[in-house]
Chains A and B, each alone.
Chain A
Amino acid sequence: MLIFERSKANRTNKAQQPRQTGSLADIPANFLRKQRPLLPEVSEMQTVRHYTRLSQKNFSIDTHFYPLGSCTMKYNPRGCNTLAMLPGFVQRHPTSPANMSQGFLACMHDLQDILKDVTGMKAVSLAPMAGAQGEFAGVAMIRAYHDARGDSARTEILVPDAAHGTNPATATMCNFKVREIPTNKEGDVDIEALKAAVGPHTAGIMLTNPSTLGVFERKIKDIAGIIHDAGGLLYYDGANLNAILGKVKPGDMGFDVIHMNLHKTFSTPHGGGGPGAGPVGVSARLEPFLPVPLVIQRDNEFQVLTEKSRPQTIGPMSAFLGNAGILMRAYIYARLLGREGMERVAEYATLNANYMMVKLRRAGFDLAFPNRRATHEFIVTLKKQARELDVNAMDFAKRLLDYGFHAPTTYFPLLVPECLLIEPTETEAMETLDGFIEAMARIKHEAETDADLVKGAPYTQPVRRLDDVKAAKELDLTWSAA
């Protein structure tokens, strides 16, 4: 039932309204609305009950294991939320001058320093509001750098075929042509193909390391050499930073610019699709182009720098200082973890992934890269099951829901057929991993003995499989009274 179907005309919720109506007599009638908007007329309790019940139709980290590859669904500490929502922080107006903002700016300044350390970069901007905006900022800086040198022939961005969809989409938004670089059978970038692709038209390359295939790009130093020798720059997609947090710094691998997904690596909530935060870090040569605002400390005071003092900036990315509240949560998380805690993130995320990989292989599953070490994630391919039993990766994913596990990432990366990309994260206990492995083994057995059972899943959710074709063909995007 929709909230609108609980609505009744003239039911009001007086506790949540101003007690009076203000006069609009000074506004000429032609500016005024003639018909009320369609908002529900429900009581406070009806609202609370409706949305509480809706929430119970969701999987979430707080209720379920979520081994969603490339998404780093780890525990979101409650303390980060509570402390970020202290009245002094949530009441602060974004235009407040520095003399009313020292507490907030101190946190932002500290966070910039922490992220510089973690990435091994010279400078950091907190401005981008999500990973894709961080990517945009990064590629826009690469463009600005070449433009500032008068090097306008660099029209192409290289992207491995295993990359996230946001990479090529971002390069297009920055008006670059995208050239895909193939991956070899061990999951590394095909170096010969890369050499053949680079040239005076190369603006840069966008790489994720560890890659979306769940393996570490071993030839990264060679790749950096090839790109730099050709005059291009290296962009690091930080989606998989959790795998190397505190262990390897992207700056040491030769990257010139990196974005981080704080909603992954720094445990800020995914919120059913956002918000994120996508700070960018850069090497010295890209520093002038960083998006504004930036927070600095001068004469014992924290201050905000805008484009006025940063003439070469690519500009601001949001109306104010990005997703400030998410940055606060990430900062609090970083302080809770500290130096030792951060190094353990990579260690235990990697331990969990390798444990699951080995156990699943023993349970009879095929790995996409059986000769490689897992990083924080790895890929199982169900090609064999799809061919022999007509049970595919989507069927496994849906059946897992019945066993109380969120599905791993399916059908990504695109170049591994029938794949499940599995990322357990460091916050899951061994018992949980064992439970998941057990469920996978049972589903495999079901697929072998009663394929239709798996193909009809899920059975235990609020709905069964939905008709996506109908959703797109017979568009129903808003409710209206019948």
Chain B
Amino acid sequence: MPFIPHTEEDVKQMLDAIGVNTIDDLFDEIPVNLRARGLEVVPTGLSEMEVGRIMHERAMQDQRHLCFAGAGAYEHHIPAAVWEITTRGEFYSAYTPYQAEASQGTLQLLYEYQTMMASLTGMDVSNASLYDGASALAEAVLMAVRANRRAKSKRILMPRTVHPQYRKVVETIVKGQGISLELLDYDRKGGHINPDSLPSEPGDFVALVIPQPNFFGVLEEVDTLTDWAHQHNALVIAVVNPTALAVLTPPGQWGEIGADIACGDGQPLGIPLASGGPYFGFMCCRQEYVRQMPGRIIGRTTDLDGKSGFALTLQAREQHIRRSKATSNICTNQGLLVTAATIFMALVGPDGLERVASMSHANTRLLAEKLTALEGVQQVFDRPCFHETAFRFDYPVDEIMSLTTARGVLPGVTLADEYPELENCLLMCATETKTEQDIASFTELLQQVIARLQTTPRPVEPNMA
């Protein structure tokens, strides 16, 4: 029996102790008509060897050579030690550290993590994680509504330069609570929020969301935007990439007084792409809002003997104490991923993270240089970018996608689905994992694809615009 240690003799002894004849007797309080018809679809159990065979075959099917897609999930080098340590049973199979004395390892690690994230974002405090970047933004919006006591409305200014999927998740999570997301359009030429386009009479807003870099990789005028929001009594929610924070101004230093809440996805910090998860969401804020923060928070304190130790703190915010009045319903978070990220940050250090950031940026610039030299390929936006950028093709991108993916190369992410005005555009990045040779061979592949598309006659469609 898989993972069940009982021998027949054990079972007999245990049943005798209980005073019943069969295991089935133990289910006698369940009405007979509910006791199941049995499983019908679940297949027969297999050995690890047999399941291994199936999984290896399926993993092989999805093998690919090169990935130039980012859009919220970035391929970075992960030191071997990160997952070697993270999957040690003492981290991997531990529970939430409610019993502090028996969980000092996880608790100290989380305290170190909070310190690293607060410093990276330039904020006062960090929580111990949320599910992912998108849901962290949703929680940040809910938190801003609680924290901004001056705002009378529940309106959030949400730029279209925020990751479109993040915006949808925010909508899913906050729409039941009467919060409205008002979209702010972007500058078609720069790909950024033009501060001149901000409403001159904005009325009452709870918060302005500012992505940096934004979904297109473009850098936003964070100082001007932050000050504008604060002048209008709105809080600033920063959505940031932790790799970028190694080189870009941290949210805590935006404008005159800095952002109020900073959140994002921690995936770039040692978490594999792995089909989109598990990743982890991070959230940092100003000290004054710490009691409005969702999720677990670890604090340092002392024990009976005066020795320093770590424990979950401010638990009165949480669902298991406060129930219907909690700051969030979150319980399970992404502890194991935070373990990986903490070990990752320690291994690469400030110097290493800076190099990862600058090399990813340099490689993306090299990619842009090579691609824009091809016929019919342009960069879409003319403003400074960080480590990701959008390209417009004079060819149908769906065909570029199918021709390159057939060769095991993921060229990027198409933009027209979410931005109809960006037809035939691809969002691409080349992280530090790409060599000059990778970029050269990718360029060559695109050149071949373009040559093929140039010679294939396309149906002429009337231009209705």
Contacts and interface: CB of A to CB of B under 8 A. Distances in A.
A466 B52 CA distance: 45
Given A16-B79, A36-B354, A246-B36, A355 B93 contact: no
A318 B132 contact: yes
B104 A462 contact: yes
B34 A253 contact: yes
B225 interface: no
B272 interface: yes
B449 interface: no
A34 B88 CA distance: 37
Given A83-B52, A426-B3, A66 B38 contact: no
Chain B, interface size: which category?
A: 35 or more
Contact of B42 (A338, A351, A462, A464): A338
Interface string A170-200: 1111110010000000000000000000000
Contact of B165 (A18, A101, A319, A332): A319
Contact of A252 (B34, B81, B84, B93): B34
B298 to A, nearest CB: 7
B97 interface: yes
Given A13-B349, A57-B108, A118-B42, A291 B363 contact: no
Contacts of A319: 72-73, 132-134, 163, 165-166, 169, 265, 276, 279
Nearest to B91: A55
B463 to A, nearest CB: 25
A58 B91 contact: yes
Interface in B1-45: 1-6, 10-11, 13-15, 17-19, 23-24, 26-31, 34-45
Given A54-B105, A248-B30, A31 B1 contact: no
B131 A129 contact: yes
Contacts of B348: 13, 16-17, 39
Interface in A1-60: 2-4, 11-13, 15-18, 20-24, 26-28, 30-34, 36-42, 44, 47-48, 50-60
Contacts of A256: none
Nearest to A219: B31
Nearest to A264: B332
Contacts of B177: 173, 175
A337 interface: yes
Contacts of A317: 135, 169, 172-173
Contacts of B73: 93-95, 319-320
Nearest to A40: B346
Interface in A223-259: 244, 246-249, 252-253
A166 B319 CA distance: 6
Interface in A70-84: 71, 73-77, 79, 81, 83-84
Contacts of A50: 346
A151 interface: no
Contact of A28 (B111, B112, B172, B384): B384
Interface stretch (B198-206, B299-307, B370-378): B299-307
A97 B336 contact: no
Contacts of B351: 12, 17, 41
Interface stretch (B181-189, B227-235, B244-252, B452-460): B244-252
Interface string A293-327: 00000000000000100000011111111111110
Given A166-B331, A321-B277, A44 B79 contact: yes
Nearest to A128: B131
B120 A273 contact: no
The 8 closest A-B CB pairs, nearest first, are: A338-B45, A320-B276, A62-B89, A22-B362, A271-B336, A88-B59, A94-B276, A273-B335
Given A39-B353, A81-B92, 11 more contacts: A21-B358, A32-B247, A60-B90, A73-B95, A77-B3, A77-B48, A169-B328, A270-B93, A270-B96, A274-B278, A316-B169
